[in-house]
A and B are shown apart, each in its own frame.
Chain A
Amino acid sequence: MLMQILKDVAVVSGISTLLAVVLIIAQKYLSDYGICKINLNKKRDVSVEGGSSLLNSLAEEQIFLPSACGGRGSCGTCKCKVNSGGGPLLPTEKPFLSKTELADNVRLACQVKVKSDMEINVPESIFNIRRFQAKVHEIIDYTYDIKGITLKLVSPDTIDFQAGQFVQIESQAYAKIKQKVVRAYSISSKPQDNDRIQLIIRLVPEGICTTWIHKYLEEGSDVTFTGPYGDFYIRDTEADIIFVAGGSGKAPMKSMLEDLQVKGTTRKMTYFFGARTAKDLYLTDEMRSFEQVFSDFKYEPVLSKPAPEDKWKGKTGFVMPYFQDAIRDPKNTEAYLCGSPGMINAVKKSLIAMGVPDDKIYYDSFG
């Protein structure tokens, strides 16, 4: 009896395995979608081999949509409008899409499989995104948990970006980490130094990519990244500027100020940098030196909880109460913010209450 049961189980298992193998082979040989045409923005066609994700198919054609998870469907950043040929919406996409996006045919490119000709809309800015090979040129310890990493470009050997934009670093396998991850970091150097980029990176507890960068990268290490991404950049107006940043949020502001130094400006600018204690401050002398460069610039570090040993004589508490003295005409003021969502929300609320127009508040919220 027992032998018969075991025999039956073995037969059923064998049939199941055989069917699985047949399905895999069928998938490989019968699901041949051939060459599919992807029309971008009704302007340009690319031909790709069907069967891969839209994200990967575009990447093969050197068209890079932002993706922080490497196409695993967990970050929700590779959004694009799929007008036709995308197939039905998948349950894996729904949590990442708003009602407006759903109505507007927005999809996650990593979840959409290319099976037929498609028509999609992507931001024009992504056509400038490239994959770069670079080498670590310099590593600077800014604080106990923040490093400045300069990458010298190898191929392509120059990059065209706007101050405030970011790149996506691809970490490599290390220690017990078997696969690469992709993470976004703002460029902190100026666009005019186009043969290199500097990044300011804070070590994140349990962070796979930041641990690789902080503990495993050394001068001469190879690094791959894509970019530039993002629409956080200085608007070309004559309005006064308020910069507000915290932690590694200093990176895009540094790039913007160095860029303005090259281009020249007479705009009134105030830069508030929020930190907890003096040990969280960095690049203070460099930022203060801009007070000598620009005709109307002030750097204001604010410590929320200075330690007694800091002997801090500067501004304390939240940054918001100090805005009043820095803003002379709220309607003619632009704000550039980079930091945690909590900081962004509180600062935005305060600026709007003071009369700064909502549409003149630009920000890069961590995430």
Chain B
Amino acid sequence: MKKSPLEIKILSKMQPGEITLNGFLGEDSRDLYDIIAEDERTLETLGVSANELADKMQYFTDKSSDSFMDSVEIDEIFIVDTEVVRGKLPCPFSHPGIYRKTITTLTNKKYNITIRWTALNIHLIKEHHFFEGKNSAFRLDPQVLLKALFA
């Protein structure tokens, strides 16, 4: 199907070297809206909203940001560490605002799962339901994300 000018603009910003080194799409050749739609269907099956996931991610990022030199243990299950590096990133959907380069790493000891996300990931999930393309460096599979965030 022919892509709209908006989709073309968004896709160009998601390419390697535009905002991040390897871009947001990984090796995913599907249309952007198909990527989003499939993850939305997964969320529906799982019975959780993108908003709930993003809010929980933000909760862990905030909790661990206070402990800037160390990881924190939360509820005796989650080991969370947020690292801030120099710089900020814009949203590829041209949403206003810029997002500090933070990387939160969470280990769920109960399920032995470790995932990581950036401040921009939280925004992309909350506002655009975009979990990134398959094999992208910061792709977050909704199913894994749900299992990791909610013990």
Contacts and interface: CB of A to CB of B under 8 A. Distances in A.
Interface of A: 68-69, 72, 74-76, 91-92, 94-96, 176-179, 183-185, 202, 204-208, 211, 246, 248, 274-276, 304-305, 318-319, 339-343, 346, 366-367
Contacts of B138: 206
A342 B17 contact: no
Interface string B138-151: 10000000000000
Given A177-B17, A206-B138, A343 B86 contact: no
Contacts of B89: 74
Which among A91, A341, A366 has the highest number of chain B CB atoms within 10 Å?
A366
Interface residues of B, number: 28
A-B interface, 10 closest residue pairs, ranked by CB to CB distance from nearest: A342-B68, A177-B17, A74-B90, A304-B69, A95-B96, A340-B84, A366-B86, A304-B70, A206-B20, A206-B21
B101 interface: yes
A185 B86 CA distance: 9
B87 A343 contact: no
A176 B62 CA distance: 34
Contacts of B71: 305
B86 to A, nearest CB: 4
Contacts of B87: 68, 183, 204, 207, 366-367
A76 B96 CA distance: 11
B52 interface: no
B80 to A, nearest CB: 13
Interface in B93-151: 96-98, 100-101, 103, 137-138
30 contacts: A68-B88, A74-B89, A92-B96, A177-B21, A178-B17, A183-B87, A184-B86, A185-B86, A204-B85, A204-B101, A205-B103, A206-B22, A206-B138, A211-B21, A246-B68, A276-B69, A276-B70, A304-B70, A305-B71, A340-B84, A342-B65, A342-B66, A342-B84, A343-B68, A343-B69, A346-B66, A366-B84, A366-B86, A366-B87, A367-B87
Contacts, number: 89
Contacts of B20: 206, 208
Nearest to A247: B85
A77 to B, nearest CB: 9
Contact of B85 (A179, A202, A318): A202
Given A274-B69, A275-B69, 4 more contacts: A74-B89, A76-B98, A177-B21, A341-B84
Contacts of A178: 17
Interface of B: 16-17, 20-22, 65-66, 68-71, 82-90, 96-98, 100-101, 103, 137-138
B17 A75 contact: no
A68 B85 CA distance: 14
Contacts of A207: 21, 85, 87, 101
Given A206-B138, A246-B69, A75 B21 contact: no
A248 B84 CA distance: 12
Nearest to A174: B17
A176 B16 contact: yes
Contact of A318 (B21, B22, B69, B100): B69
